[in-house]
Structure 1
Amino acid sequence: MRLYDTSSWVFRHHLEKIPLNKAFQPLFDKDKTKIKEEWFNFLMSQGMMPVSLKTKRDWMVWRKKINLINLKKHMVDLKKEFKGPEIDIFLFPLNQRHTNIMEELDGKNGCTFPDYIIAFWKDSLPENDQKALLLHEYHHACRIKYQRIKESSITLLESMIMEGLAEWEVQNRLGKEYSAPWIKRYPSEMVESWWKDIYSKNINLRGRQNHADLLYGSRKGIPPLMGYQLGYEIISNYLKDDQSSDSRVLLEIKDHQFLTGKFTKNKQVKG
């Protein structure tokens, strides 16, 4: 497992005049179907600090506030505990002008793929919050491994379960104070209503690309991050009934098995 401090790439680009596509090659090699422009558009959309002479100092400030040794130990411990996959982790400073990430996600964001993670955070983010983000994202990688998940066939229910389980692990290991703000964004009664009226009928919707509106919210009337909070409440409801809370056991449980009590399947479920 390797952690990449990507600020070193940017400094090499500025000081040694190395082209960005070469400096970023360890990441770009993860998906060679993307050209340089596609990669940078993706990274910027997820929160990466722009690379320019104007932001050079911002990258340096961010770098001085991370402890790679502590973060690496944290990840090695998680890999052992979860019996998780060997993956690469790419760390980036967050563009604090990205208002959605700053306001809704407390200045941190992550993307997880089967063999790598990309993480972004603001320079003022405390180390335990950095660890919380990496725990959340690595748990996704473990769930992908245990359930053999593919982007093209993943169900909406599994997408929500992944978010809920990962955040439960953060709360269980680091404390509730490090939980994401979206776990309690809406009253439980409101979440249950959305489950009954909308989500329970769409849990078999397949393909990650088809889940965005229901996970993140949309202009169609879906509240922001409702799918995330619903995933967390499904897990909380399951665990309150004295079900096993062993981390590896939970990783092995199929998505539909978490539907108990008030979150049982709707008879009109699609798919």
Structure 2
Amino acid sequence: MRTDLWLEEEFKNPNYVPNELKKYFTELTEYEISRFLLNRGYQPTASNKFSIQILKEKNVWEKTEQLLQKYKNEWSGPDIPIFIFPTRQNLFHNRGKNGYSFIDKIFLFVPSTITEKELEALFVHEYHHICRLNSVDKPIVEHTLLDSLIMEGLAEHAVLDYCGEQYVLKWNHLYHPNVLERIWLNEYKPFMQVKYGNRRHTQLLFGNGLSRPLLGYTIGFYLIDRFRENNEGFSIPSTISTPSEQFIKD
């Protein structure tokens, strides 16, 4: 979606972007949409006006369209709307870039400093979510902590395979495998059936603030690592629809 044109209009009318997005969020109010964008790092400021221009010069919208066509073919994925917004730098969010996937749309929040390969890595992670959500026959509200761990682990392994190790989230390399095995067995496995929306699900997935950031992502990456070691035929396309439980069978 050409959100760059929307953003230009927003400087004349602050409600323009939430009003446009309302068509894609029948369950949310314009205020709730504005809060969602703000929480992910976007707000209509003068500095963002400058960022938009840089992102346009980098052809971010056109390159994202090319990525969509490439990975649609690679993974037999769906055609969905993608919304791109500039965001401020943020060390917690991997140099400021972050994404959010719904089952039928993707939001990409990118800083003006983003490189072409960083954009691809962000897209690959989020679009893999879309493909898996549409391949696994399970409503979001029924997703368990295990489902979320495997979702994130597979998405980051997709980044590893298609973009390279330097583009994988740095949190995935903070712990020795032996430490991760203990954390998995003692802290995560007992709660792997906790449902999406439960407070413990959220806490375990995102970790404990700055001391253990995104620990659930790290555990998910580790579980896929372990699975790959024991399955020579592993590939990203062939595992998109594999049930989560399959990845932890000993």
1:11 equivalent among 4, 8, 11: 8
The letter of the residue matching 1:144 is L
Whether 1:45 and 2:45 are equivalent positions in the alignment is: no
Give me the whole-angstrom Cα distance separating, in 1, the residues matched to 2:106 and 2:112: 19
Whether 1:181 and 2:170 are equivalent positions in the alignment is: yes
The letter of the residue matching 1:74 is L
| Residue 205 (structure 2) aligns with | 215
Shift, 1:24, TM fit: 4.1
Shift, 1:99, TM fit: 4.8
Give me the whole-angstrom Cα distance separating, in 2, the residues matched to 1:216 and 1:226: 6
Q: Residues 167-225 of structure 1, C-alpha deviation per residue, up to 9 Å, x if partnerless?
A: 11111112112212122122222221211111010111112454210011136x98221
| Residue 77 (structure 2) aligns with | 84
Contact 1:78–1:84 (CA<8 Å) still a contact in 2? yes
Give me the whole-angstrom Cα distance separating, in 1, the residues matched to 2:177 and 2:2: 39
Aligned runs of 1:119-198 on 2, under 5 Å? 119-198=108-187
Shift, 1:66, TM fit: 3.6
Give me the whole-angstrom Cα distance separating, in 1, the residues matched to 2:118 and 2:138: 27
SS for the counterpart of 1:252 is coil
Q: 1:228 to 1:68 in 2, by over 3 A?
A: same
Shift, 1:54, TM fit: 5.4
Contact 1:9–1:24 (CA<8 Å) still a contact in 2? no
Whether 1:117 and 2:106 are equivalent positions in the alignment is: yes
Whether 1:34 and 2:31 are equivalent positions in the alignment is: no
Give me the whole-angstrom Cα distance separating, in 2, the residues matched to 1:195 and 1:216: 14
- Percent of residue pairs bearing the same amino acid type: 28
2:57 equivalent among 49, 54, 64: 64
Give me the whole-angstrom Cα distance separating, in 2, the residues matched to 1:79 and 1:208: 29
Aligned alpha-carbon RMSD (Å): 2.0
Contact 1:10–1:23 (CA<8 Å) still a contact in 2? yes
What is the count of residue pairs matched by the alignment?
249
Give me the whole-angstrom Cα distance separating, in 2, the residues matched to 1:140 and 1:242: 22
Give me the whole-angstrom Cα distance separating, in 1, the residues matched to 2:192 and 2:83: 32
Give me the whole-angstrom Cα distance separating, in 2, the residues matched to 1:237 and 1:99: 28
| Residue 235 (structure 1) aligns with | 224
The letter of the residue matching 1:140 is H
The answer to which structure has the higher helix fraction is 2
Deviates more, 1:145-154 or 1:66-75: 66-75
* TM-score computed with the length of structure 1 as normaliser: 0.84
SS for the counterpart of 1:124 is coil
Aligned runs of 1:224-263 on 2, under 5 Å? 224-261=213-250
Whether 1:95 and 2:84 are equivalent positions in the alignment is: no
SS for the counterpart of 1:207 is coil
SS for the counterpart of 1:152 is helix
